[in-house]
Amino acid sequence: MADSHSVLATLDRGVLRLVLNRPEKLNAFNEDMHRALRSQLDRAHEDAAVRAVLLTGAGRGFSAGQDLGDRDPRRGGPPPDLGHTLETFYNPTLRRLRSLEKPVICAVNGVAAGAGANIALACDIVLAARSARFIQAFSKIGLVPDAGGSWSLTRILGEPRAKALAMTAEPLPADTAAEWGLIWKAVEDEALMDEATALAERLAAGATLGLGLTKRLIQAASGGSFDAQLDLERNAQRRAGQSADYAEGVAAFLEKRAPVFRGQ
Ligand code: LHQ
């Protein structure tokens, strides 16, 4: 689905930039956009030339979540199986984002609502424009937080804030999201793309294997014991220590020069 216009993809300096591109619908997800995003994330997994992903939205929004026009109940018929929709379209993308062993940076350029907010929160490093808002819009239409939101909100914020956000659907401004530790930082609107691109390029020039293993370790940490985590760290460090980038990093340090990482 590389030729879809719903997600614009460009690869430059190791960064695969993915732009959700249905601006007239605030980049709400329809099936085409799901397929296009999934296919680009698969490409990011498979292609060694991709060493970081930068996800953002076209126009004034990041994403308004599910395209509600696609499931207009006024059209009649039996109620939809949203569990099937999640399993077919959302969950594989969320799993791919979390398991991709490369950094995924998200630049939230505007409103992020429903599954759109939670797809952003599933990325590794989230920057948001100061004017952006995160809305757990689900309760407004009788649904529950999905796309990993019940997990991320609770893990990151704790039950009191997670429940309040999910039950009230009140917009959370980017600054508060940063204060609460839900995202990495809020930046001036005009600075967002430059800052996110610079960060993505910096990480794309990094030791990809080590960064991928770091991601895996940190994700595992919130689910396991300290003791089990020591074992995971040992295994990961064993692999990282055998990489060419590690050898280069140490050599560069000893030679007092900047390292040139090749993602190997
Ligand atoms: C939209 C949408 C949209 C279509 C704005 N769809 N057109 C659900 C079901 C199935 C399976 C699994 O999971 C899910 C998960 C979910 O994501 S449920 C939550 C779905 N999302 C929402 O409920 C958010 C709905 N949108 C809004 O509440 C507002 O649009 C927000 C607060 C995001 C932005 O408000 P405004 O800045 O005032 O913009 P707007 O409402 O005027 O929207 C601009 C246009 O985008 C407008 O179209 P129009 O033709 O009138 O200019 C909207 O209809 C369209 N749009 N969201 N989700």
Burial string for 130-155 (b: 16+ CB within 10 Å, else e) reads bbbbbbbbbeeeeeebbbbbbbbbee
- CA of residue 160 to ligand 1 center, whole Å: 26
The answer to whether residues 31 and 89 touch, using CB atoms and an 8 Å cutoff, is yes
Residue 147 corresponds to which tokens in the numbers above?
């796309």
Among the ranges given (35-39, 190-194, 220-224), the one the predictor scored with the smallest mean pLDDT:
220-224
Classify strands 133-135 and 172-173 as parallel, antiparallel or unpaired: antiparallel
Residue 161 corresponds to which tokens in the numbers above?
């804030």
The answer to whether residues 36 and 71 touch, using CB atoms and an 8 Å cutoff, is no
Residue 29 corresponds to which tokens in the numbers above?
């997800």
CA torsion, ordered 176, 182, 188, 189, to nearest 10 deg = -110
- Cβ–ligand 1 distance for 112 under 6 Å, the answer no
Mutational test site, ligand 1, from 6, 20, 26, max ligand atoms within 8 Å of CB: 26
- CA of residue 29 to ligand 1 center, whole Å: 10
Report the pLDDT value the prediction gives residue 3, as an integer from 0 to 100.
54
The answer to whether residues 166 and 153 touch, using CB atoms and an 8 Å cutoff, is yes
- Is a pLDDT exceeding 80 seen at residue 213? yes
- Cβ–ligand 1 distance for 201 under 6 Å, the answer no
Q: How many residues does this entry show for the chain? A: 264
Residue 74 corresponds to which tokens in the numbers above?
């006024």
Classify strands 133-135 and 111-113 as parallel, antiparallel or unpaired: parallel
The answer to whether residues 121 and 62 touch, using CB atoms and an 8 Å cutoff, is no
- Cite the beta strand spans of 21-168 per DSSP E: 52-57, 61-63, 104-108, 111-113, 125-129, 133-135
Mutational test site, ligand 1, from 21, 22, 25, 70, max ligand atoms within 8 Å of CB: 25
- pLDDT, tens digit (0-9, with 9 covering 90-100), for 8-53: 999 999 999 999 999 999 999 999 999 999 999 999 999 999 999 9
Kindly give the number of the ligand 1 atom that is closest to the alpha carbon of 26.
46
Q: Is the pTM of this model over 0.85?
A: yes
252 forms beta bridges with none
Residue 79 DSSP code: P
- pLDDT, tens digit (0-9, with 9 covering 90-100), for 50-79: 999 999 999 999 999 999 988 777 788 888
Nearest Cα residue to 146 out of 171, 125, 126, 117 = 117
- pLDDT, tens digit (0-9, with 9 covering 90-100), for 172-181: 999 999 999 9
The answer to whether residues 127 and 187 touch, using CB atoms and an 8 Å cutoff, is yes
Rounded Cα distance between 155 and 153, Å, is 6
Rg (CA), the chain: 19
Report the pLDDT value the prediction gives residue 2, as an integer from 0 to 100.
47
- Is a pLDDT exceeding 70 seen at residue 1? no
Residue 49 corresponds to which tokens in the numbers above?
């030339």
- Is a pLDDT exceeding 90 seen at residue 231? no
- CA of residue 127 to ligand 1 center, whole Å: 22
- Cβ–ligand 1 distance for 217 under 6 Å, the answer no
The answer to whether residues 41 and 90 touch, using CB atoms and an 8 Å cutoff, is no
- CA of residue 28 to ligand 1 center, whole Å: 7
The answer to whether residues 146 and 203 touch, using CB atoms and an 8 Å cutoff, is no
Task: Report the nearest-CA residue for atom 37 of ligand 1.
Answer: 111
| Number of other residues whose CB lies within 10 A of the CB of residue 217 | 15
Question: Residue ranges of the domains in the chain?
Answer: 7-204, 208-254
- Cβ–ligand 1 distance for 137 under 6 Å, the answer yes
- Is the domain 208-254 a CATH 1.10.12 member? yes
- Cβ–ligand 1 distance for 141 under 6 Å, the answer yes
Kindly give the number of the ligand 1 atom that is closest to the alpha carbon of 143.
18
- Is the domain 7-204 a CATH 2.120.10.10 member? no
Residue 189 DSSP code: G
Task: Report the nearest-CA residue for atom 7 of ligand 1.
Answer: 25
Mean pLDDT calculated for residue range 171-198: 98
